[in-house]
Amino acid sequence: MCSPSNIPYPELPDAQFTSLSASLVSNLTVKIPKGGYANHGAVAAEGVSYCHVTTTYTHTGQNETITVDVYLPTDDWNGRMQGIGGGGWTAGGINAPGPSMSMLGAVVDGYSAVTTNAGHASLDPYEWVLKSPGVVDNHLLEDFGSSSLNELSIIGKAIIESHYGSPPRYSYWNGCSQGGRQGLKLASKYPTAFDGIAASAPALDSVGLGIGSLWPQAFMNTLGQYSKNCELIAITEAAFEYCDGDDGLVDNIISYPDSCNFDPYSVIGQAVSCNDTGSPEIVHISETAAKVANATWTGPRPVDDSLTWWGLKKGARLVEENVGFMIIPGLATTVCSTNGTCVGKPTGISEQWIRLLIKKDPSFEVSTVAIDDFWKLFKISMEEYGPAFKIEPDLDAFRDAGGKVISYHGLADSIVPPDSTRHYFESIAAKDKRVHDYYRVFEAPGLGHCFLDAGGYYPEGIFEELVTWVESGVAPDRITAHTSPLNGTRRSSILCPYPQKVHYNELGSSAVADDFYCED
C-alpha cells in the first residue's frame, strides 16, 4: 500500500527528518529519448505505475532542507535499487520539471529509484552557492559534493524495506558527468553504499574543470586576438578529413585522436564560409585560429611544462554549435560584432565556478581573465575546494567489498577531457595490476559528452553489462555501441576496455559490431 503510515522515518545519524509523503502515480505513458536515461537507450512504455515517496531532513545544527525522492514500482519490482545521479549543479533528478526521466526509466526497468537534491531546490547555482555576499555555503557544498550521496543510499534502502518488506538484493548507482563524479566519489568514500556503479564521462575533478575549461579563453585574452567560430569549425573538419581513415574506415569519426598528427597551421589561408558577424562572408583561416585550436588541444601547461589540466581531443567541437535539438558548448567560442570584432565567450561552467566559488562575486567579469590570472585561479581552486570535490584514485575498499565500476568516456567530449578519466584509471592501475577485476573504462570514438554529438558511438547497454558483472561475475570484454546520426543512418561497433582499442577488420560491411575487434 502506498501510504506514509506504512513507511517510518529512516534512521540517519546526525539528521532530523521533517516530512514524509507518499502518493500513487498510475498509468503513465513514458517516452524517454536517448540520453534522457543515463547509460541507457531510448525508453517507451505504457501503463507505468509507482509509489512516489518524498522525504525531507536536515542535519543537526544546520538549516538546510534535503529532499530525497523514491519511486517504488507497483508491479514487478526486480528486487534492486538504482540511485540516480545529477548533472551540472544538480545532485539528482528532483529539480527537473515533472517526474525525472532517469527515475521513470529505472521504474520501467523494474528498479526502485532514488535521488536527492542535496539540499538546494534550484537548478541555478547563483541561488544557493553563496549564503550571503562574499560567503560560500560550505556546508551545502559538502552536501552536494559527497555527504548527501551516502545518505541517499541509506534512506533509499530503508524506505524500500519498509514498503516491500525486504531490502534490495542489489543496489546500483547510475550517472554521467556530475553523476559520474558522484559515482566515483561514492566508490572511494562510501565503498559499501552501492554494489555496482555506472560512472560515465565523469567530471572527476570539478576543482580543475571549473578553471581548466577557461584555458582557451584566457589564451585568447593574453594573445589579444580572437578567432571566429567558423575558422575553428573548419579546422576541426580538416582534422577529420586528415585522420578519419587512420583506422581503415572512413566514417567521419577520428577513432585514434592521440595519433592524429594533423597540423592546424597547414590550413592557414584556406577560404571558408562564415556567418559569425551576422551576414555571409568568406574568411581565410588565420594564424590566430591555428594557435587557438592548438592551445585547446594541448591544454594548459605552466612554465615548467608539467601537466596541470588536459586539452580536448582532435575531433571534439571547439566552439558552441547547434546540432539538431542540442546546443553543444565549446571552450573556444567567440562572439563577433557586425564590424568583425570578436570577443571571447566563456562556458557557463567556468563563469559559475570562478564567480561563485573563487571570487565569491556573481558580477565578476570572467571574460577578462588572462593566463597569469588563470594560474592564480587554478591554485586557489585546488586549495579551497580540493577536499570536497577531488576524488582520490583509491578503490581498494570498494574492491574489497566486492563492488564493480564501469565507465565510458567519449573521445570527442568537448566539456570534460577524456584524459581525465584515463589518468584516474591509470593511477589506480599503477597500484593494482588486477584493476580490471573491478573497474573498467571504455573509450567511445566520436562521442561527445555523455550522449552528445550525433555521429559518435554510444553504448546504450552499458548499465546492463554492469548488472551482469555484479550478479553473474561476467566482466564485459567488449560493449556494443551505436551511432545515431541526424541523417538516420545507424552503424554499430564495439567499445573496448582501456587500454585496448577498437580495430576495424576491413572485411565486413562496416555497419555491425562483428566487423570490429579489441586489441592493444
CA dist., res. 276 & res. 291, Å (int):
19
Q: Which range has the worst mean pLDDT, 51-60, 285-294, 432-441, 511-520?
A: 511-520
Going from the C-alpha of 60 to that of each of 91, 227, 444, the distances in angstroms are 21, 52, 44
Q: How confident is the model at residue 167 (pLDDT cuts 50, 70, 90)?
A: very high
**Residue 218 amino acid letter:** A
Q: What is the DSSP letter of 209?
A: H
Could you read off the pLDDT of 219-249 as tens digits, one per residue? 999 999 999 999 999 999 999 999 999 998 8
pLDDT at residue 34, as a whole number: 85
User: Does 508 or 223 have the greater pLDDT score?
Assistant: 223
- Superfamily holding 4-205+390-519: Alpha/Beta hydrolase fold, catalytic domain (3.40.50.1820)
Going from the C-alpha of 36 to that of each of 30, 39, 59, 79, 196, the distances in angstroms are 11, 9, 32, 23, 20
Please, are residues 442 and 496 in contact by the beta-carbon 8 Å criterion?
Answer: yes
Cis bond leading into 300, ω under 30°? no
* Mean pLDDT for the chain overall: 93
Domain ranges of the chain: 4-205+390-519, 210-387
pLDDT at residue 488, as a whole number: 60
Average pLDDT over residues 355-367: 96
Catalytic center residues: 177, 413, 449
Average pLDDT over residues 76-81: 96
Could you read off the pLDDT of 171-209 as tens digits, one per residue? 999 999 999 999 999 999 999 999 999 999 999 988 889
pLDDT at residue 377, as a whole number: 94
DSSP annotation string for 440-508: EEEEETT--STT-STTS-B-TTHHHHHHHHHHH----S-EEEE---TTS---EEEE-BTT-EEEE-SSS
Residue with the three cell numbers 506514509: 4
Q: How confident is the model at residue 507 (pLDDT cuts 50, 70, 90)?
A: confident
pLDDT at residue 325, as a whole number: 65
* Dihedral Cα 41, 44, 48, 52, nearest 10 deg: 40
Average pLDDT over residues 248-271: 95
pLDDT at residue 62, as a whole number: 92
Q: How confident is the model at residue 275 (pLDDT cuts 50, 70, 90)?
A: very high
Among residues 263, 299, 297, 279, the alpha carbon closest in space to that of 228 is found at 279
- CA 477 to chain CA centroid, Å, is 23
Q: How confident is the model at residue 72 (pLDDT cuts 50, 70, 90)?
A: very high
Could you read off the pLDDT of 110-136 as tens digits, one per residue? 999 999 999 987 889 999 999 999 999
HEC letters along 73-142: ECCCCCCEEEEECCECCECCCCCCCCCCHHHHHHHHCCCEEEEECCCCCCCCHHHCCEEECCEECHHHHH
Residue with the three cell numbers 573563487: 358
Is 419 a residue whose pLDDT tops 70? Answer: yes
Percent helix, strand, coil in the chain, to 5, is 35, 25, 40
Angle (CA) 203-345-324 rounded to 5° is 70
Average pLDDT over residues 32-36: 88
Please, are residues 444 and 410 in contact by the beta-carbon 8 Å criterion?
Answer: yes
Is 94 a residue whose pLDDT tops 90? Answer: no
Please, are residues 143 and 112 in contact by the beta-carbon 8 Å criterion?
Answer: no
Q: How confident is the model at residue 145 (pLDDT cuts 50, 70, 90)?
A: confident
Residues 6+ apart with CB under 8 A from 264: 235, 238, 239, 289, 290, 293, 294
